[in-house]
Amino acid sequence: MFLQKNTLGMSTLQEEIAAEQSIATYELIGKLRVAYDTSLRKAASTLSTKFKYGKLLCYSVSRGCIRQGVELLRELQAYLTVEIQTKRRAVSCNSPLVHSSKSQSQDSEYVFVNERSMVDNKPAEEREESIGSVSDSDIEHFELDEEELSEQCMYHIAVAYFRLGDYRTSARLCDELLFLNENHPRAGALRNLCMYSIVNRGALGFLLTVGVALPLLMWHKTAAKS
């Protein structure tokens, strides 16, 4: 079993995941669901709204909500991947489209409209209205560029699969994330947790098999002698 070194401690990561789970209450999920649904009706689902809602779902106690969170973050990551590749091509061609990739996600200029993106020219007051009853204290604001936000999506998707018990998929996503950013401490720690879980599950399965098979074998031998 190959474990990542120089990463966040597994116990520390487990505490962080538990803390995130405690935040993902049904009340807050309900608030963000209203905000997200409202933004969809207005055809202006921002990166910030989609990321916050998807991330929160990944830490829900409901397996259905977790799967929904994975779906939302995968959609967002796919969009970001296209944006990143477009900007990289523009850089290589010295295109005038090149500009700073740094943006404030809570006031993101990108919106999802009919599964496509366009620039949001609405006033700040209208964008603020789209977050519904979610207050600033509910979810912290964040400022990430597109590559960092894509990595965040991949990490939280990996956590979601870990919480669903799909350790191999989670570990594979951690490997992909570490390939993109070898210094990502949480991805390394999560991968280690997955490896330990896979080994422990295998050991438990072996013990259960032995525990069932051995008595049956002894009974068969006893019955044959009699």
Cβ pair 74, 173 in contact under 8 A: no
Going from the C-alpha of 209 to that of each of 126, 167, 206, the distances in angstroms are 61, 21, 5
Cβ pair 84, 150 in contact under 8 A: yes
Say how many CA atoms lie within 13 Å of 62 toward its Cβ: 10
Three-state secondary structure call for residue 134: coil
> What percent of the chain stands above pLDDT 70?
61
- Residue 85's contacts (CB-CB under 8 Å, 6 or more residues apart) are none
Q: Pick the closest to residue 197 from 12, 14, 5 (CA basis).
A: 14
Q: What's the mean pLDDT when you consider all of the chain?
A: 75
Q: Please, what sign has the CA dihedral across residues 191, 193, 196, 201? A: negative
In this predicted structure, the answer to whether residue 150 has a pLDDT above a threshold of 90 is yes
Model-level pTM?
Answer: 0.69
In this predicted structure, the answer to whether residue 170 has a pLDDT above a threshold of 60 is yes
pLDDT at 221: 56
pLDDT at 94: 65
What is the dotted CATH code of the domain comprising 10-225? 1.25.40.10
Residue located via tokens 């519904």: 132
